[in-house]
Amino acid sequence: MFEESITPMPASSPSGARVLAPEGEPIEFIYNGRRFHIHAIVSRWRESGGWWNRISDGKNRVTESTIFDDGARAIWRVEAAPEGALTTFEIELDEVTKTWLIRPTSRPQ
């Protein structure tokens, strides 16, 4: 049910969103110009796979450590708020490019 309400990534953040994660786990982030503080991690998961597809697509991102772009991502579903009501976000770390993506899964009030 969350999936339906995901809004697309703002086109204005091509180099990734700004997320504060000193120990690897996000604490704060900036979304739409506003700083959000994470109150709770609702769940987290990791995804990877499909490396073989990226060869034929030409989308294979080769890094120093591996030629396999397995599309590894770590995702946290969090409750965060600048002020007022809590909002649920998914914060995703693309582990290949080390860039962050943020998508709200419920609309900020």
Partner 1 sequence: MKSFTHLRVASGYSFKYGTAHADQLVERAAEFEMSALALTDMDTMAGAIRFTKSCEANGIAPILGINLSFIQKKYRITLLAQSGHLDSLYRLVTAVNLENSENLLTHSLLERFSQYSKNLLVLHGPESQLASAISARKSAEALSIYNATRELFADQAIECVSHLIRGDGQFSTSHAARALGFARDNHLSAVLSNAVRMLDRSDGPVADVLDAARKLVPLSNKSVSRQNSEAYFKDSSEMSYLSDEISRLAGERDGRSLLNTTTAWAERALLSPRKDVGIGAIHLPDAAALGAKSQGELTAQLRSRCEAGLSRRYVGSKSVVAASRLEEELSAIRTLGYESYFLTVADITDLARNRGIRVAARGSGAGSLICHVLGISGVEPITHGLLMERFCSPLRGELPDIDIDVESARRLEIYDAVFEKYGQRCATVSMVETYRSRHAIRDVGAALGISPMEIDLIAKSMPHIRSSNIPKALANLPELKDLNLNTPILKMAIELAGRLDSLPRHLSMHPCAIVLSDIGLGDYAPQQINASGYPMVQFDKDDVEAIGLLKLDVLGVRMQSAISYTLSEIERIEGAALDIDAIALDDPATFDLIKSARTLGIFQIESPGQRELVGKFAPETFNDLIIDISLFRPGPVKSDMITPFLATKYGLRVRPVIHADLESILQETQGVVVFHEQVIRIISTMTGISLAEADEKRRELGDIASQQLVCDWFYPAALARGYTSTVVAEVWEILRAFASFGFCKAHAAAFALPTYQSSWLKTHHTAAFLAGVLTHEPGMYPKRLILDEARQWGIQIAPIDVNLSDATYRVEKSSKETRAPYLAPNVLSSGAELKLPDARGFAIRMALSDIDGIDGKEIKSIISGRPYLDLADFVYRSGASRPTTESLLTIGAFDDLHKLSTSNINRRDLALHLQDLYRLAGSKSATSQGQMSFELQPEKFEPSGLPDITASEQVKSEIDILGMDVSSHLLEFYGDFLNKIGAVRSCDLIKHRSGTSVLVAGVKVALQTPPVRSGRRVMFLTIDDGHGCNDITFFEDKQADFATVLRNSWLFLVRGEIRRTGPRGISLLGTGAWELANSHEKWRNLAVYGASGT
Q: Are 38 and 80 in contact (CB under 8 A)?
A: yes
Q: Which residues contact 65 (CB under 8 A, 6 or more apart)?
A: none
Is 6 a binding residue for partner 1 by CB under 8 A? The answer is no
Which of 6, 10, 61, 66 contacts partner 1 by CB under 8 A? 66
Q: Are 75 and 47 in contact (CB under 8 A)?
A: yes
Rounded Cα distance, 13 and 31, in Å: 10
Which of 7, 15, 43, 109 contacts partner 1 by CB under 8 A? 43
> With CB under 8 A as the contact rule, which of the stretches 9-17, 29-37, 50-58, 97-105 interacts with partner 1?
50-58
Q: Are 75 and 91 in contact (CB under 8 A)?
A: yes
Which of 70, 81, 86, 94 contacts partner 1 by CB under 8 A? 70
Chain residues in the site for partner 1 (CB under 8 A): 43-53, 55-56, 60, 65-68, 70, 72, 75
